[in-house]
Amino acid sequence: MTGWEDIMPPLMFGGLILFLLFGFPAAFSLAAVGLFFGFVSIEIGLFTEAYLFNLPLRVFNILSNDLLLAIPFFTLMGAILERCGLAEDLLEGTGQLFGKIPGGLAYAVIIVGAILGAITGTVAASVIAMGMISLPIMMRYGYDMRIATGVIAASGTITQVIPPSLVLIVLGDQLGQSVGDMYAGAIGPSLLQIALFMAFIAVVSLVSPHKVPPLPPEALVPRDWRLWWRVLRGMVPSVVLIFMVLGTIFMGLATPTEAGAMGVVGAIVLAAVNRSLSWTLVRQAMGNTTRITAMVIYILIGATVFSLVFQGVDGGIWIEHLLSYLPGGATGFLIFVNIFIFLLAFFLDFFEIAFIVIPLLAPVAKNLGIDMVWFGVLICINLQTSFMHPPFGFALFYLRGIAPKEVLTKDIYLGAIPWLCLQLLLVAIVIAWPESVTWFLDRGPVVDPASVVIDMPPPVIQDPAAVPFFQ
């Protein structure tokens, strides 16, 4: 009996990895491994059948979780905005504003990528929209292909960190933290990410200006009110929508789910203003939303089955003992976790990592005294690298799908490497400088428990003679 208790957790982990390596879907792999080892554990006496009776209740709690409703709302908002032409106005107008300077188009892609990330929340929408619009222009005016493809893919991944990121919603749910705190904590790293990307383009423009040439005079439009109107027409509605969605969350006026619903209404209004609203657009957006939401729910249910059985065989204690005694204390734990997640991202989707790995790491992080919001934002920054891993990064796949045939796959993969290094540099900065996350959090006044004095007045005892007596 004792021997089984020691080896069952690593056997479950090994079985899950084996299923995933064979190419089975993650949701069904999680459920199958969990149920198999659950029945085995009942047979050998690690727990009884009654323990698995908790499974229906857990599934019901998932389906009744109001917070997870924010995922389809934000996904639908992004899917509508992806197709309404907003990105085109933003990119073309911003590209003209920066067009006179070396790297101007790259700066425009980074800025618009951040704005699209804040209003769509999906990497696919940002990468596809910017790739289809900006990549042909960059090719036409002599941009180095590795720089062009790299900046488009990397700018799309900013979506993972910048609110209202779907990853932050999922991580907040798994770590037991408010989505508002997760969004506030991600502001600093988002700005640092944008600054690092723009600094890289600035260095390239100084060292190798021929790789990021400015637009020729014949490609520039006059800087008159028409250009500024085009930029403002794309920028102002976006800023209003961002404030409506994020501002209401930060001010406590709306929950993430309510803010997501308002975002959907705002996206429909923007699509109508841009004269691109149609039943076809809405139907395609709803179909995309349904697929993503169903995938998330299936993965979450499968992860719940696996997690229930894993905890029943004391897997949580096994993980805690395994990670709590790493050399270097909390720093050693963070380095191990980030390397582990970086490697997992080669094979697993960010949703799968969030639902499988994070619940196992969270108790260890709490025991080590790590701020959970900071820990969640750090993991989110690391997870964005999953979209840039050659050769498995989804952002690279999206870009390959819409790039012209003249763009070599080799250039897309090699172009992603410098930006991947910049993302890892941001991970190191956040570990070394936690205030980049915590500074934006409103923790309220700090109260020393030792200074709290409870002063209760003694009870007032009335004169019995003064109290009227009724027979």
Instruction: Output the DSSP codes for 356-409.
Output: HTHHHHHHHHHHTT--HHHHHHHHHHHHGGGGT-TTT-HHHHHHHHHS-TTS-H
pLDDT at 1: 46
Question: pLDDT digits over 129-176, tens only?
Answer: 777 777 888 888 888 899 999 998 898 888 888 887 778 888 888 888
Instruction: Please tell me what DSSP assigns to residue 305.
Output: H
Q: Please give the mean pLDDT across all residues of the chain.
A: 80
Closest CA to 238 of 274, 213, 192: 274
The values of phi and psi at residue 101, to 5°, are -105, 150
pLDDT at 216: 80
pLDDT at 462: 57
What's the rounded Cα separation, in Å, for the pair 87 and 398?
Answer: 16
pLDDT at 199: 95
Q: What residues of the chain score a pLDDT lower than 70?
A: 1-5, 82, 85-89, 120-122, 125, 219-225, 227, 230-231, 234, 347, 391-392, 442-471
What's the rounded Cα separation, in Å, for the pair 387 and 397?
Answer: 9
Neighbour count for residue 141 (Cβ, 10 Å) = 17
pLDDT at 451: 60
Question: pLDDT digits over 439-448, tens only?
Answer: 877 655 555 5
State the amino acid at position 362 in one-letter form: A
pLDDT at 206: 92
Closest CA to 387 of 351, 427, 345, 353: 345
Helix (H) or strand (E) holding 314: none
Claim: this prediction has a pTM higher than 0.95: no
